[in-house]
Structure 1
Amino acid sequence: MQNRDEIFATLRDAMVELFELDAERITLEANLYQDLEIDSIDAVDLIDHIKRQTGKKIAAEEFKSVRSVGDVVEAVHRLVNADGL
């Protein structure tokens, strides 16, 4: 799970599984809270899922700034590629 497309696909699959969302609703532009109706408990579940997939945890402070699925993809991309910097 290195590039943005792979991250998005993994994230979309996770959101379908975790939150029973229709895959068509999950786009890079979709707002987590308004469009997808993700609440704070769901967000914690998503952070936990990302940690299990990547072995790394997104800081809660960083996750507070995400609003869209694209923001999550960017945050995960920075996280998984941080070692290479």
Structure 2
Amino acid sequence: MQTRDDIFETLRSALVELFEIEPERVTLEANLYQDLEIDSIDAVDLIDHIKRKTGKKIAAEEFKSVRTVNDVVDAVYRLVNSAA
């Protein structure tokens, strides 16, 4: 899971699997809260899923500014490509 496309596909699969969202609704522009109806509990589940997939913990503070699927892709991309 290194490229933005890989991250997007993994994220799309997670949203479909975890929250039963139709794959065609998951676009980079989709708003997590308004378009995909993700609530705060779902967001925690998504953060946990990302942690399991990447082996790295995403900071809750960083996730607070996330609004769209593209924002999540950017946050995960920074996380997996950081020199940690």
Q: Shared fold (TM-score greater than 0.5)?
A: yes
For residues 35-54 of structure 1, what are the structure 2 equivalents within 5 Å?
35-54=35-54
1:83 shift after superposition: 1.8
**2-structure distance, mates of 1:68, 1:9:** 15
Matched, 1:9 2:3: no
Extract structure 1 runs of 4+ deviating beyond 6 A. Answer: none
CA RMSD in angstroms comes to 0.8
SS in structure 1 opposite 2:37?
coil
**2-structure distance, mates of 1:45, 1:4:** 21
SS in structure 1 opposite 2:83?
helix
User: TM-score, length-normalised on structure 1?
Assistant: 0.97
SS in structure 1 opposite 2:82?
helix
For residues 46-85 of structure 1, what are the structure 2 equivalents within 5 Å?
46-83=46-83
Identity of aligned residues (%): 80
Give ranges in structure 1 of 5+ residues lacking alignment: none
**1-structure distance, mates of 2:55, 2:38:** 23
Amino acid aligned to 2:66: V
**2-structure distance, mates of 1:60, 1:12:** 20
Amino acid aligned to 2:73: V
Give ranges in structure 2 of 5+ residues lacking alignment: none
